[in-house]
């Protein structure tokens, strides 16, 4: 068999159903450890915002807020969704709003300045198990795409040394240009599959965010791998993951 995968419902070499021909990987938190850096930037942004614009009893931005309202969504959707959970609606503003402006764009710009600074300081590390998995998927002859809500996707892939694996990339910029709905809508994964010349019926999705797992499930993708980086295995399953792993290396056949 050209892919080197064993016959059966789940092949041991890359741990996917045998009819899968393409893989779509989320980036932050699946291929690179940058989800934690986004979370730090969001926390500082929202805590400063709430201190300035909400009452003194308003709780700080929590890890749960990140996973429920921000993780996996395009930047502006993260701003809107989290603030809506606190009963706050901001005007949209304009793309070049000042980071201090109380607008969706202003808050998003504040967060982007912070995350770029943090990425610059700490660098970008790919997960070793994810690099091994990309190598195996490439060797198995699968088409490989990256679907990320981040407008910084190309930069992060380059910094992690992963661009060489990627045959199609949908990122936050593409999502804006093509006017796609962000995760949890399936649009960005559907666009990624189309760009690879694949169909959802033969494509696997790899996601760590609840919004992303839901997008893969609702898009009718063949197999949705939930990557449990935030102790939320049950939530990943509830949102549509077919399997939950702690690291992509678990899917590889070690024997």
Binding stretches for ligand BG6 (CB under 6 A): 27-28, 35, 38, 70-72, 74-75, 78, 112, 115, 148-152, 172, 209
Distance in Å, CB of 254 to ligand BG6, minimum: 30
Catalytic pick among 28, 65, 71, 187: 28
Question: Could you give the 3-state DSSP secondary structure of residue 57?
Answer: coil
Strands of the 223-227 sheet, one edge to the other: 168-170, 143-147, 22-25, 203-207, 223-227, 243-245
Residue 215 makes CB contacts below 8 A (sequence gap 6+) with 72, 183, 184, 185, 186, 187, 188, 189, 205, 207
Nearer to ligand BG6, 105 or 203 (CB): 105
Nearer to ligand BG6, 182 or 200 (CB): 182
Handedness of CA 211, 217, 221, 226 (dihedral sign): positive
101 in catalytic set? no
97 in catalytic set? no
Catalytic pick among 18, 26, 158, 171: 26
Nearer to ligand BG6, 5 or 217 (CB): 217
Nearer to ligand BG6, 74 or 200 (CB): 74
Distance in Å, CB of 127 to ligand BG6, minimum: 15
Distance in Å, CB of 1 to ligand BG6, minimum: 34
CB 223 within 8 A of CB 20: yes
Residue 8 makes CB contacts below 8 A (sequence gap 6+) with 18
Distance in Å, CB of 10 to ligand BG6, minimum: 28
Q: How many C-beta atoms surround the C-beta of residue 202 within 10 A? A: 17
As annotated, the active-site residues are 26, 28
């Amino acid at each position: 068999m050209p892919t080197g995968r064993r016959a059966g419902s789940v092949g041991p070499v890359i741990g996917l159903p045998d009819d899968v021909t393409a893989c779509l990987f989320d980036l932050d938190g699946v291929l690179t450890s940058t989800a934690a850096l986004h979370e730090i930037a969001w926390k500082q942004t929202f805590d400063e915002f709430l201190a300035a614009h909400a009452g003194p009893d308003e709780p700080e931005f929590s890890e749960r807020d990140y996973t429920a309202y921000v993780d996996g969504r395009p930047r502006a959707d993260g701003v809107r969704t989290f603030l809506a959970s606190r009963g706050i609606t901001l005007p949209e503003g304009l793309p070049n709003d000042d980071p201090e402006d109380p607008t969706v764009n202003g808050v998003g710009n504040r967060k982007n300045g912070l995350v770029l600074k943090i990425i610059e300081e700490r660098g970008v590390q790919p997960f070793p198990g994810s690099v091994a998995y990309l190598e195996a998927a490439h060797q198995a002859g699968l088409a490989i795409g990256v679907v990320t809500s981040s407008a910084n996707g190309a930069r992060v892939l380059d910094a992690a040394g992963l661009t060489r694996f990627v045959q199609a990339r949908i990122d936050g910029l593409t999502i804006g240009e093509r006017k796609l709905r962000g995760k949890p809508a399936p649009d960005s994964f559907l666009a990624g599959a189309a760009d690879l010349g694949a169909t959802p019926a033969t494509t696997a999705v790899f996601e760590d965010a609840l919004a992303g797992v839901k997008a893969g499930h609702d898009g009718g993708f063949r197999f949705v791998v939930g990557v449990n980086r935030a102790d939320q295995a049950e939530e990943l399953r509830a949102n549509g993951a077919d399997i939950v792993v702690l690291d992509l290396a678990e899917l590889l056949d070690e024997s």
